[in-house]
Amino acid sequence: MDAINNLIELREIMEILLSEQKLSQKLISNLHDQVERTLIMAANEAIIDRHPGWIVCEGHRAAELYLCRNWRRSGKLEDEKERLRVLAEQMKKDFFAAQNERVDLELVEKIMRDLDEQDHFTEKVLGNGLLLILSAGCAHRRFSALCRPYIYQDDSFSCDVYLFQRTLEDRSTSWGSILLHELGHVLNLRLTGDISVVPDDFLSFAEWFFPGLSTKYRASAPEFFAHCFAMGVASRSGLECYDAFPNIQKEHKQLFDIYMRSKIAQL
């Protein structure tokens, strides 16, 4: 693939490739080999960097890793083309070019290192799975970030977090808070196997703080869970700058931190 800088350019390249009559199985295989090699290389570098559980990247590499993770292989040329076409269409629906907002990836890496040091987060939560944190270099029509789970046939899973560029109006939340929220979803997935179902004991615990959570607002419980994880971490000393909930009592945030940490420790 030529130099591409973001997921918009990736989609454009995919569309050009798919429009070429001579797109052969060999070309498709070569492309897949290339993005797979990029993933292996990034994983090796993460091991050398002493954080084997996660990869943080942007630009060309992020685009290749996105394609690698979202590409479901098929042996047949026509199926393969169709799957790539569907993926490109979905990308067109979801992503759009945005004003350049630089995502602070150094800060993202620092948070991951802190969580690994304090809670063995990736080791406990992901096991042998790999968490990719990709700066998409474009905006999403609905979200500023996304947690994308992949659940495999043996029930193991891996997860990716995509960070999107935001419009000027919604830049009030820091990248640190956004990342912590998405990591809350990752923990939720690990605990229940389903990102849309929170642990039962979370419902009974959080009900004290958010009356109606287990009944009237149950559908919003996964979002509450992710927020509570983020506010818990942001109550730790040195991490307060990621707090997106200044109006909630610090003691309450600390209780959520204790809850989340005990869930991680039990893994």
163 lies in the binding site for Zn ion (CB under 5 A)? no
Residue 60 tokens read as: 């060309």
Type of residue numbered 258: I
Only segment of 4-12, 92-100, 160-168, 223-231 that touches Zn ion (CB under 5 A): 223-231
Return the number of the residue (221 or 226) whose C-beta is nearest Zn ion.
226
Return the number of the residue (29 or 220) whose C-beta is nearest Zn ion.
220
Residue with the closest Cβ to Zn ion?
226
What is d(CA 9, CA 55) in angstroms, rounded to the nearest whole number? 21
What is d(CA 34, CA 40) in angstroms, rounded to the nearest whole number? 10
**Shortest reach from residue 184's CB to Zn ion, in Å:** 7
Q: How many CB atoms lie within 10 A of CB 217?
A: 14
CA quadruple 242, 247, 250, 256: dihedral positive or negative? Answer: negative
Only segment of 21-29, 117-125, 212-220, 222-230 that touches Zn ion (CB under 5 A): 222-230
**Shortest reach from residue 99's CB to Zn ion, in Å:** 24
**Shortest reach from residue 226's CB to Zn ion, in Å:** 5
In this chain, which of 67, 126, 133, 226 binds Zn ion, going by CB under 5 A?
226
**Shortest reach from residue 222's CB to Zn ion, in Å:** 7
Type of residue numbered 115: L
Query: Is the separation of the CB atoms in 156 and 126 below 8 Å?
Result: no
Total residues contacting Zn ion (rule CB under 5 A)? 2
- Give the number of C-alpha atoms closer than 13 A to the C-alpha of residue 150, restricted to the C-beta side: 15
Residues engaged in binding Zn ion (CB under 5 A): 223, 226
